[in-house]
């Protein structure tokens, strides 16, 4: 197992290198550069200004020359400056964006997990009952409703219609002071976006859990456990669920990296300053440094969580061993 772990970790480095080359090349292919933003915002901008700034930022060099220079800085821990905000790109992402995404996506994941597991189990145990049908219909609705529409509806109902009951968006209310007041304010701002973001996962994972549980409770060892007279709670949670949840864990492990990059719709609707929106904006305005550090981080997350999912699998299922 240790050998396997070391091998997998070492494989991450060349993989990331190739990914960085591909990402940088793709970004360079996109028409335009950061200077275009300045030109659009300054009517008096001259061609001389344009040429001067392109030379200053090294944009007059071929993309592979720029990539080599970027790589040289990255290995020294310098991910460059965000041309949007004048701050180090890594600082901008990890200080101002990443924590917000962890908060939103983390809570959404936890909420979806905590609800989908028992709901899926209940739906499986009460198959073909009214409870099962209600949960199933709810799942289909959750899968069908676009997140951005749900978000807008939540805002309309709880912020506009019931004016002031919930915030209409944002991370926090400016000017709130006091520890408990700040905590409460932050939680209030999280309620609606977490509900919106977790809706699709919750629906999907509930269905997944239900299917997995249905398959598991029909297996011989579960029938045997019941026949032995074990309490139903022990049969379900002690035996069946442990096996039924394995595929869900794999699924969650593979989905976690996406949570950090794929919440752009929720972030836009709720004006949540997270990584999804940061990546999108950075690509649009050609802020290469922010785009690269974000995309590389997502890549690292994908590779890492793939590895963690494999490890978790081995821990939960003693039959699985890596050499």
Q: Among residue numbers 124 through 183, which ones bind another protein (CB under 8 A)?
A: 125-126, 131, 152, 155-156, 159-160, 163-165, 167-176, 180-181, 183
Task: Give residues 102-121 in contact with another protein (rule: CB under 8 A).
Answer: 114, 117-118, 121
By CB under 8 A, tell whether 319 contacts another protein.
no
**Burial group, residue 279, by CB count within 10 angstroms (0-12, 13-18, 19+):** buried
Other Cβ atoms less than 10 A from the Cβ of 110: the count is: 12
Does residue 81 sit in helix, strand or coil?
A: strand
Closer residue to another protein in complex, CB, 193/257? 193
Q: Which two tokens stand for residue 150?
A: 């749900």
Residue closer to another protein by CB (options 50, 322) is: 50
Q: What DSSP character marks residue 169? A: S
- Cβ 17 to another protein shortest distance, Å: 23
Task: List the one residue out of 106, 9, 23, 103 whose CA is nearest residue 71.
Answer: 23
**At its nearest, how many Å lie between another protein and the CB of residue 275?**
11
Q: Rounded CA gap, 78 and 83, in Å?
A: 14
Q: How far is the CB of 135 from another protein (least distance, A)?
A: 11
Burial of 241 (0-12, 13-18, 19+ CB in 10 A): buried
Q: Which of 12, 53, 71, 312: binder of another protein (CB under 8 A)?
A: 53
262 binds another protein (CB under 8 A): no
Any contact of residue 203 with another protein (CB under 8 A)?
no
> Cβ of residue 62: shortest distance to another protein, in angstroms?
14
Longest dimension (CA), the chain: 86
- CB 221, CB 236: distance < 8 Å: no
Build a one-symbol-per-residue string for 205-234: x at contacts with another protein by CB under 8 A, - elsewhere: --------------------------xxx-
Footprint (CB under 8 A) of another protein, residues 68-107:
78, 80-81, 83-88, 92, 96-97
- 7 part of the interface to another protein, by CB under 8 A: no
* Closest CA relative to residue 93, chosen from 105, 80, 106: 80
One of 25, 72, 146, 184 touching another protein (CB under 8 A):
184
């Amino acid at each position: 197992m240790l050998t396997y772990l070391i091998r997998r970790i070492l494989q991450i480095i060349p993989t990331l290198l190739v990914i960085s080359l591909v990402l940088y090349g793709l970004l360079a292919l996109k028409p335009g550069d950061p200077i275009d933003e300045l030109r659009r915002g300054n009517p008096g901008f001259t061609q001389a200004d344009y040429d001067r700034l392109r030379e200053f930022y090294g944009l007059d060099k071929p993309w592979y020359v720029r990539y080599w220079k970027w790589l040289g800085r990255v290995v020294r821990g310098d991910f460059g400056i965000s041309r949007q905000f004048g701050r180090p790109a890594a600082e901008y992402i990890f200080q101002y964006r990443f924590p917000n995404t962890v908060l939103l996506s983390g809570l959404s994941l936890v909420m979806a997990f905590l609800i989908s597991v028992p709901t899926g189990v209940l739906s499986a145990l009460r198959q073909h009952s009214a409870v099962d049908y209600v949960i199933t219909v709810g799942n289909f609705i959750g899968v069908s409703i676009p997140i951005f529409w749900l978000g807008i509806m939540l805002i309309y109902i709880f912020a506009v219609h019931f004016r002031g009951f919930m915030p209409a968006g944002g991370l926090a209310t400016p000017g709130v002071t006091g520890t408990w007041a700040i905590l409460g304010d932050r939680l209030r701002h999280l309620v609606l976006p977490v509900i919106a973001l977790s809706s699709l996962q919750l629906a999907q994972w509930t269905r997944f859990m239900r299917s997995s549980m249905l398959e598991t409770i029909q297996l011989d060892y579960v029938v045997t456990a019941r026949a032995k007279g074990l309490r139903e709670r022990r049969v379900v949670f002690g035996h069946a669920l442990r096996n039924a949840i394995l595929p869900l864990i794999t699924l969650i492990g593979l989905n976690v990296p996406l949570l950090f990059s794929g919440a752009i719709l929720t972030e836009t609707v709720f004006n949540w300053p997270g990584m999804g929106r940061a990546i999108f904006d950075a690509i649009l305005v050609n802020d290469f440094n922010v785009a690269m550090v974000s995309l590389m981080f997502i890549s690292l997350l994908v590779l890492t969580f793939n590895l963690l999912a494999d490890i978790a699998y081995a821990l939960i299922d003693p039959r699985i061993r890596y050499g």
